Amino acid sequence: MKYNIEKINAIAEKLAEVVEEAIAEGNQTELKIGGVEMALRESLREIGQKALSCFLENADREWEKVAEIECKCGCKLKYQRQRGATIWSVFGKVRYERAYYAGCHCGEGKAPLDEKYGIEPGKVTAGLANLVGLSGIDKAFEEGKKWLKSFLLFEVSENTIRAETEKLGAIQKQMDETLVKAMQDEASLQKRERDQKQAPELLYGSIDAAKVRIEPRDELEKALEGRENWRDMKIGCWYQGEIVPNRERSTRQKRKAQRAGTVIRAKGKEYFCDISEAGEFGKFLWATGCSVGADRAKVLIFVCDGAVWIWNLVSHYYSNAIQIVDWYHAEDHLKQVAIEAFSNPEERQAWLKEVVEDLWQGRVELVIAACQKLSISSDLARKAGIYFSNNCERMRYADFRAKGYLIGSGVIESGCKQIVSRRLKLPGAQWIVDGAILTAKARAAWLSGKWQSLLDARSSPLPLAV
């Protein structure tokens, strides 16, 4: 928006006078700049309250001479009176009056102004919902209440923060469910084929899970499950890769480049998550993949850890995808074997250096043989031998590097930390299943750059579309 600079300057000068008078009347002439800033902020908030009220009432004048309007049932609503309403905005509590229509046989009534501006009387506005939701996906609701007061200069209840965060998460959940349903529907899939966009040249996918503590809320749950139980928040991510230029490499990346020859990083990350059984999550994996063109990608690569449920889903839905076990998980298996199998540090280091090099070069059969030799005295070595045998073709790291593929699943590890550890596992956090899911989905939307789409959907009366 563009504003009249002359009017803005005049208002600024007047506001400065008002604040100066308030400081003088309060005998606060020794205020430092911080105190002056806070005085200006508070006065601007009060002005914002009044200005928003005036704006809405001025915008309602077009309805003053309209006696009847259409009801959604097809009949007529008649003008009743100027009816007061209250909303919670970024300026605090705002009261205003607007034309109200009723009198239809269906019993419905409405205020055209509210419909025009997407207002829900008595509720939080879209502008405040944005800030409250951002607090809710980043901080514990109680902590967010204190944090918001410092910025807004008025108090928002803990329950309001929770409700608005979960409302945005519910919008994302509805979008997810709509997408899953569409990608299981033949007509929708045919339409998608007709409207196909260009297929991605190379696309990555990663899947993992992180534990979330769920608090039983009724007596039966407590009797069956005890004080708490843990559920898997399954998280997926679609992304692309790009080479990190030399000038942008961190110290760690420079060290990595000395060994790998190049450094690749993820871009365009799109996270999705849910607490569900693997079979249901598989439908979600397929639907989100269709939305980014994973089923049509010229090269599709999954980089994940060695969990069987993950590779079962990948093989079922994307049978042509290249499968890579995360290098760091594989290397860590060897480190754990070395610790258990060798008490002598020098022998341990010598064995580890050799098998890690074999693994790096994709000589997995040699790694398996090395683990099998230790299996009599080391149970971890026996299990590692099975692990490497089951994932042998997913560990041809030399071939993968030669083709310029990512071999680390840091993207999904980060996703688990960003969505679960940094929010759902905050000190004192207690969740019911729905609350954990909705908060996680809202946070995933933010991390994926889709926050505005949630805000737009919140303010729109139209149904969600795929």
**Maximum mean pLDDT: which of 14-23, 243-252, 373-382:** 373-382
Quick one: pLDDT at residue 72?
87
Pick the more confident residue, 197 or 404. Answer: 404
Torsions phi, psi for 96 (to 5 deg): -155, 165
> Average pLDDT for residues 23-35, to the nearest whole number?
81
The reported pLDDT for the residue numbered 466 is 42
Contact 131, 152 (CB under 8 A): yes
Q: How far is CA 33 from CA 14, 24, 28, 39, 211, in A?
A: 19, 15, 12, 10, 47
pLDDT for 304-345, tens place per residue?
998 999 999 999 999 999 999 999 999 999 999 999 999 999
- Asked whether the predicted pLDDT for residue 2 surpasses 90, the reply is no
SS3 assignment, position 427? coil
Q: Side-chain half-sphere of 456: how many Cα atoms within 13 Å?
A: 9
* 57-116 confidence digits (pLDDT tens): 999 887 777 899 999 898 999 999 999 999 999 999 999 999 999 999 898 899 999 999
**Residue 323: closest CA among 409, 370, 393:** 393
* Beta-carbon contacts of residue 438 (< 8 Å; ≥ 6 apart): 165, 166, 169, 170, 172, 173
Task: Show the CA angle centred on residue 48, arms to residues 154 and 454, nearest 5°.
Answer: 75
What is this structure's pTM? 0.89
Are 283 and 184 spatial neighbours (Cβ–Cβ below 8 Å)? yes
Could you tell me which of 228, 271, 216, 260 has the C-alpha nearest to residue 446? 271
> For the chain, which residues make up each domain, given as ranges?
5-123, 329-397
pLDDT of residue 21: 87
**Nearest C-alpha neighbor of 266 from the set 399, 137, 418:** 418
pLDDT confidence of residue 194: 73
Residue 350, pLDDT > 80, answer: yes
| Gap between the Cα atoms of 264 and 253, Å rounded | 9
Query: What is the average per-residue pLDDT within 135-160?
Result: 95
H or E stretch including 91? none
Q: Do residues 323 and 314 touch, judged by C-beta distance below 8 A? A: yes
Please report, rounded to a whole number, the percentage of residues in the chain having pLDDT higher than 90. 76
User: What pLDDT, in 10s, does the model give residues 268-290?
Assistant: 999 999 999 999 999 999 999 99
- Which DSSP string do the residues of 131-179 spell out, in sequence order? HHHHHHTTS-HHHHHHHHHHHHSS---HHHHHHHHHHHHHHHHHHHHHH
User: In angstroms, what is the C-alpha Rg of the chain?
Assistant: 29
Read off the pLDDT of each residue in 204-224 and give the average, rounded to a whole number.
81
**pLDDT, position 390:** 95
Question: Edge to edge, what strands does the sheet with 68-70 contain?
Answer: 68-70, 76-89, 92-102
Q: Which residues pair with 124 in a beta bridge?
A: 88
